Structure 1
Amino acid sequence: MDKRAVKAWIMYDWANSAYATTVLAAVLPVFYASVAAATLDADTAASYLAYTHSVGMLCVALLTPLLGALSDLSGRKGDFLRVFAITGMIATLGFSAVGEGDWLLASALLVISTIGFAGGNTFYDAMLPDLVAADRRDMISSKGYAYGYIGGGLLLAINMLMIQQPGWFGMGSTLAGTRLAFISVALWWLLFSIPLFRHAPRRPAAPNMPGSWKGYAEVGMRRLRQTFRQMLRFPQLIRMLVAFWFFNDGINTIILMATIYGTSIGIGTADLMLALLLTQFIGFPCTLLLGAWAQRWGAKQVLMLSLSIYICIVILGYFMTEAIHFYLLAGLVGVVQGVSQSTARSLFSNLMPSGRTGEYFGFVNITGKFSSIFGPFVFGWVGQITGSSRWGILSLLFFFIAGMAVLMTVKVKQGMNDALEADREDNRILEGTVHFHGANAGHSG
C-alpha cells in the first residue's frame, strides 16, 4: 500500500467537500434566488434552479460510464479526475462574476461545476481498489468521508462569517462576502487536490490502445457494450445497485429537502445553517468510529444499522415542531450520513472486478443520479395531495425500507468471489494477448 497516495486520496475529500457544503447546500441556493434570478419571481427562480440541477446530473450520468471505461483501459483515472476537478474549480470561480439577473450564466456555471464535481468523484471512487486491499477499504473509505466533513465544515464556517460579517474580511457588503466565498471554495478545492494530482495511482494500460480520441471513444463504447452483457455475471452487484437505488434516493432527498422542510414548519434560517454545521462536525468522529466497526463487523451490517437510524430520523422528523428538534435530527444525520455512503462505496468496490472499477462506478453514478429524481418528486407529490409536508417526509420511509429489504439479499462473499474470478479471466486474456504479440514479434525478427 502506497501510504502517500492513500493520504492524498483522503485529502481530496477534504478538498472538494467545500463545494458540496458551501456551493450546493448553503450559499448558491440563496445567491441564485436573490441575485442571479432577482429579475424572476420566486417560484420561477426555484424551478429554474431545480431544472439546472437535473441537467447537470443528467450530463454526468451520460458521460461517466464511457469515460470510466476509458480510464480503466488507459490506466489513468488520475488524469481524468484532474480534468474534471479543474473544470469544476474554474466554474465555481465563475460564480463570483455573476451579477443581478444573470440567471442563465449562473445556471450554465452550475451545470459545468456539477459535471466537474460529480464526474470527478466517479474517478475518485474508482481509485479505491487501486490503492488498498479489500480488507482495508471500509476504513479508508470512511476516513475520506470523515475528513470531507471537517474540510467542508471548516470552510463553510469561514464562508458564513464572510457573508454575515463581511467587514472582518475587508468586504463592504454581504454580496461582496458571498463572491469572496465562491473564490475561497475554488482555491480550497485546488490547493488540497494537489497531493492527489501528483500521487494518483496508475494501472497498466490495456494492450494496443488507440492513438486518437476517436479510437478511444470506439474502444470505450465497445467496452461498455461488453459490460452491459457481462453484468448478469454479477448478481450480487446488481442487487447492491437496486438497494442503492432506493436508500440513496432517501438519503439524497433528506439532504436536498431538509432546509425547505424546516422552513415550512417555521424554523429560522440561522438555526438551519447552524444545524448544517453541526452535521459536518458530528459526522467526522462518527464516520471514523463506524468505519472501524465496518472493518471489524462488515460493511453490510453497519450499512443496515445506519439505514435503520435513517428510518428513526424520518419518523421523528414527522413529529418535529421546534428548532431544538431540528438540531437533534441534524446530529443524528451527522452520525450516519458519512458511514452510510462510505460503506456503500467500499461494498461496491468489493463486488466489482478491479480492472473495471471506472466503468462500474460510472454505472453506480447513473443509478445514483437518476434515482435522485424520484425521492424529491414523491416528497412534493405526497405533500401536495395531503396539504402537509409532514406526510411528504414520512413518505421517505418507503425508500429506506425497500433499500434495506434488497440489501439483506446481497451475499457479499459470493459477490467478491464473482469479481475475483472475472479479474482472473481478464488477466488470462491480457497475458494471452501479450504472449501472442510477443510471438509475432519474435517470428517477424
Structure 2
Amino acid sequence: MASGGGRRLGLFSWALFDWANQPYFTLITTFIFAPYFAAEFIGDPVRGQALWGYTLAAAGVVVALFSPILGAIADVSGPRKPWIAAFGVLFVVSCSYLYTAVPGAPGSALWIAIALGLAAIAAEFAIVFNNAMLPSLVPEHQIGRLSGFGWGLGYLGGLVALLMIIGLPDAPFLGLQSAQAEAGRLVGPLTAIWFLIFALPLFLFTPDQR
C-alpha cells in the first residue's frame, strides 16, 4: 500500500464501507421498514411479522451455509473488489425494489420478501469479502484496531441515517404521497443510494489483493 496520506485514505475508505452498509440493518431490518412491512404493507402485524421472520431466517440459513465457502474462495481467489461489487449491485437493486411495497397490494408480498432476502444475503456476503481484505491492508497486530474503527464508523453511520429519516417532515415531502406510505417505502432506495455513495471510496482508494 502507498505510504503517508494515500495509505491512510485507503484504510479510511475500507472502514467507510461499514458506514455505507450499516443503514440497511438500521433502517430496513430494524427501525423503519420492518414495522412498516408488517403493519402497513401486509396490513396484519401478526402475519406480517411472521413473514418477515421467515424471510430473514431463510436468508440467515443461506448466509450460514455459504459464508464459509465464500470465505475460503476469498482466501485463494485474489482480488476481493469484484465480489464486493457483484454483491453490491444485488444489494442496491434489491433495496431499491422495496419502494414498490405499496400498502393494499399484498399480491406483491412474495416479491418484496424475495427482495428482502436477497438484500440481506448480499449485505452479509459483501461484508465477508470486505473483511477478507484486512490482512492485505495492515499487519496482523493492527487488524483489530482497523476492524474496530470500521465497526464504530458503521454504528455512527446507521445512527446518522436514522436521524435523517426521523427528521423528515410528516407532511408530503418532495411530492411524496402519505396515502401510499411513500415515506416508509423510501428507505429502500435511500439505503441503496447511501451505499452507492459511501462504498465508492473503497473501490477508488483501497488497494486490492492481486
TM-score normalised according to structure 1 size: 0.43
**Is residue 157 of structure 2 the alignment partner of residue 151 of structure 1?**
yes
User: What do residues 305-342 of structure 1 show as CA deviations (whole Å, max 9, x unaligned)?
Assistant: xxxxxxxxxxxxxxxxxxxxxxxxxxxxxxxxxxxxxx
Q: 1:166 offset after TM fit, Å?
A: 4.2
1:76 to 67, 79, 84: 79
Q: Counterpart of 2:149 in structure 1: which amino acid? A: K
Q: 1:155 offset after TM fit, Å?
A: 1.2
1:167 corresponds in structure 2 to 172
Report % sequence identity.
26
2:63 to 60, 64, 69: 60
Q: 1:182 offset after TM fit, Å?
A: 2.0
- What's the C-alpha RMSD, in Å, of the aligned pairs? 1.9
Is the contact between residue 78 and residue 200 of structure 1 (CA under 8 Å) also seen in structure 2? no
Q: 1:36 offset after TM fit, Å?
A: 2.9
Q: 1:85 offset after TM fit, Å?
A: 1.8
Q: 1:158 offset after TM fit, Å?
A: 1.3
User: What do residues 253-310 of structure 1 show as CA deviations (whole Å, max 9, x unaligned)?
Assistant: xxxxxxxxxxxxxxxxxxxxxxxxxxxxxxxxxxxxxxxxxxxxxxxxxxxxxxxxxx
User: What do residues 120-146 of structure 1 show as CA deviations (whole Å, max 9, x unaligned)?
Assistant: 111112211111112222221121112
Q: Which aligned runs of 4 or more in structure 1 are off by greater than 6 angstroms? A: none
Aligned-partner SS, 1:201: coil
Is the contact between residue 60 and residue 121 of structure 2 (CA under 8 Å) also seen in structure 1? yes
Aligned-partner SS, 1:167: coil
Aligned equivalents of 1:79, 1:186: Cα separation in 2 = 18
1:186 corresponds in structure 2 to 192
Aligned equivalents of 1:35, 1:121: Cα separation in 2 = 31
1:197 to 196, 199, 203: 203
Aligned equivalents of 1:26, 1:169: Cα separation in 2 = 22
Query: Alignment length, in residue pairs?
Result: 201
Is the contact between residue 166 and residue 177 of structure 1 (CA under 8 Å) also seen in structure 2? no
User: What do residues 174-210 of structure 1 show as CA deviations (whole Å, max 9, x unaligned)?
Assistant: 7111222222111001110011123343334xxxxxx
User: What do residues 30-86 of structure 1 show as CA deviations (whole Å, max 9, x unaligned)?
Assistant: 121123322xx4322221111111111111222222222222222111211111122
Aligned-partner SS, 1:193: helix
| Structure of larger gyration radius | 1
Aligned equivalents of 1:160, 1:117: Cα separation in 2 = 23
**Is residue 5 of structure 2 the alignment partner of residue 4 of structure 1?**
no
Aligned equivalents of 1:36, 1:168: Cα separation in 2 = 20
Is the contact between residue 9 and residue 206 of structure 2 (CA under 8 Å) also seen in structure 1? no
**Is residue 109 of structure 2 the alignment partner of residue 103 of structure 1?**
yes
1:379 corresponds in structure 2 to none
1:131 to 118, 134, 137: 137
1:312 corresponds in structure 2 to none
Higher RCO, 1 vs 2 (CA within 8 Å, ≥6 residues apart): 2
Aligned equivalents of 1:155, 1:30: Cα separation in 2 = 17
1:122 corresponds in structure 2 to 128
Aligned equivalents of 1:118, 1:49: Cα separation in 2 = 17
2:38 corresponds in structure 1 to 33
Is the contact between residue 98 and residue 115 of structure 2 (CA under 8 Å) also seen in structure 1? yes
Q: How does 1:258-277 map to 2 (within 5 A)?
A: none
Q: Counterpart of 2:38 in structure 1: which amino acid? A: A
Q: Counterpart of 1:104 in structure 2: which amino acid? A: L
Is the contact between residue 80 and residue 129 of structure 2 (CA under 8 Å) also seen in structure 1? yes
Aligned equivalents of 1:137, 1:166: Cα separation in 2 = 46
Aligned equivalents of 1:32, 1:140: Cα separation in 2 = 35
Q: How does 1:289-308 map to 2 (within 5 A)?
A: none
Q: How has the CA–CA distance of structure 1 residues 106 and 36 changed in structure 2, closer, same or farther, with 3 Å as cutoff?
A: farther
2:19 corresponds in structure 1 to 14
TM-score normalised according to structure 2 size: 0.87
Q: Which runs of 5+ in 2 are unaligned?
A: 2-6
Q: How does 1:207-356 map to 2 (within 5 A)?
A: none
Is the contact between residue 15 and residue 153 of structure 2 (CA under 8 Å) also seen in structure 1? yes
1:285 corresponds in structure 2 to none
Q: 1:169 offset after TM fit, Å?
A: 4.2
Aligned equivalents of 2:171, 2:136: Cα separation in 1 = 44
Aligned equivalents of 2:45, 2:122: Cα separation in 1 = 28
Aligned equivalents of 1:184, 1:93: Cα separation in 2 = 8
